[in-house]
A and B are shown apart, each in its own frame.
Chain A
Amino acid sequence: KQEVTQIPAALSVPEGENLVLNCSFTDSAIYNLQWFRQDPGKGLTSLLLIQSSQREQTSGRLNASLDKSSGRSTLYIAASQPGDSATYLCANYNFNKFYFGSGTKLNVKP
């Protein structure tokens, strides 16, 4: 069974810092990998999707990379802002099932 791990569980950084969130998975046979953001009491918002044939995707200050062979994905956030404070989850899709990590709770201090 696919296991998805996100470390650290929580992260607190000062505003303006560049940071990296990590996602690891045990089975490299994935169709895609997706990063989400979740604000308290809300649903998950899709941030970036990387297809299995791709290595990275970028959107604004966000960059996500995928290394299937090592079972890892990273989400890079440049010049963090207080508005980036949220929980970030990664998930991969394989055989019609989605496998989620437990998330990294990010706090960006003004």
Chain B
Amino acid sequence: DVKVTQSSRYLVKRTGEKVFLECVQDMDHENMFWYRQDPGLGLRLIYFSYDVKMKEKGDIPEGYSVSREKKERFSLILESASTNQTSMYLCASSFFTGGTGELFFGEGSRLTVL
């Protein structure tokens, strides 16, 4: 069974803290994605990666960075958390070449910044 695992389901952080959101997939997918989801705004792409150590900015990269040191792991970093980063964060993965292009999501990480 395919699996995308996000390390934390719920986090509460204070303004200015550094926050790490971890995502691991066990499907040997090349592509990995970080989205945030807010009511009325839908899913917005923050960053994606199509290979180890490769990253591309999505639609809303400001205030975020990412790290992909291993193929199975993609981390989202909030260098200095702010209240407007309170959101649901969703990690996803898919094959880059070949296959069906099916996208798989993790369970989500609900971040609250106080």
The answer to whether A100 has its CB under 8 Å from any CB of chain B is yes
The range of chain A's interface size is 20 to 34
User: Dominant SS at the B interface?
Assistant: strand
Q: Specify which chain B residues have a CB less than 8 angstroms from the CB of A49 in the assembled complex.
A: 100-102
Q: How far is the CB of A75 from chain B (nearest CB, A)?
A: 16
- Tell me whether A43 and B90 are in contact in the complex, defined as CB-CB below 8 angstroms, given that A96-B31, A100-B43 are known contacts: yes
Alpha-carbon distance A89/B90, docked complex (angstroms): 14
A43 touches B33 (CB 8 A): no
How far is A89 from B110 in the complex, measured between Cα atoms in Å?
19
- Chain B interfacial positions (CB closer than 8 Å to A): 4, 6, 31, 33, 42-43, 45, 48, 50, 88, 90, 92, 94, 96, 100-108, 110
14 further A-B contacts with Cβ under 8 Å, apart from A32-B101, A34-B102, A45-B105, are A31-B101, A32-B102, A34-B103, A41-B108, A42-B107, A43-B4, A43-B6, A43-B90, A44-B90, A44-B105, A49-B100, A93-B94, A98-B33, A98-B94
